[in-house]
Amino acid sequence: MTVQKRVQQGFTLIELMIVIAIVGILAAIALPAYQDYTVRAKMSEPMAKLAESKTTIAEYFVTNSVVPATLAVAGIEGQESIIATEIVRDMTYDVNSGGPIVNIFVHASVLPGETNDLAFQLSGITRDDGSITWVCQPGDGASQATPMKTKWLPANCRG
């Protein structure tokens, strides 16, 4: 009497359960990181749209030795047309003693788990040589929005 050895074909239930558990753990780690990545990518859009405006403001400052009081004075058309998109709700422009300040307000619907609109700020620091150095940071939260989390700021704002 010969005993035939049965050759295993396929996976056992335990092996499949282990693989599913590993995939679940990897997904739990990867999903939040991916969400942060997509939000940061969306936050780079307003920075790209503001590039031309920053240049125009700096040119006005070089030419006139004073920061423009409004965007219209600098020759920039209505602010809504510059930046309002499905990502950005609004933009405000102000001038303080150090230079121009641009506040960017982002729709909460773009950001995972947020119910309030968020803000970040570009502050222009005027220099004696006639240039403006732009510094990006979370908004002050003073008006209409919560300051943006640092992890979601555009790359050049996280320094």
Q: For position 149, what pLDDT does the model report?
A: 81
Q: For position 40, what pLDDT does the model report?
A: 83
Q: For position 18, what pLDDT does the model report?
A: 95
Is residue 3 in some structural domain? no
Domain count, the chain: 1
For 21-66, what is each residue's pLDDT tens digit? 999 999 999 998 888 888 888 888 878 878 888 888 888 888 888 8
Is residue 34 in some structural domain? yes
Q: DSSP assignment of the chain, as one string?
A: --PPPPPP-S--HHHHHHHHHHHHHHHHHHHHHHHHHHHHHHHHHHHHHHHHHHHHHHHHHHHHSS--SSTTTTT---HHHHH-SSSEEEEEEEEETTEEEEEEEE-GGGSTT--S-EEEEEEEEE-TTS-EEEEEEE----SSSEEPPGGGS-HHHH-
CATH code for the domain of 80: 3.30.700.10
Is residue 35 in some structural domain? yes
For 72-122, what is each residue's pLDDT tens digit? 888 777 655 556 677 777 777 888 877 888 877 777 777 777 777 788 888
Q: For position 78, what pLDDT does the model report?
A: 61
Is residue 43 in some structural domain? yes
Q: For position 17, what pLDDT does the model report?
A: 93
Is residue 127 in some structural domain? yes
Is residue 28 in some structural domain? yes
Residue 125 banded pLDDT, cuts 50, 70, 90: confident
Backbone angles phi, psi at 121, to 5 degrees: -130, 140
- 31 lies in which domain range? 13-158
Is residue 7 in some structural domain? no
Q: Residues 112, 93: contact at Cβ < 8 Å?
A: no
Q: For position 28, what pLDDT does the model report?
A: 94
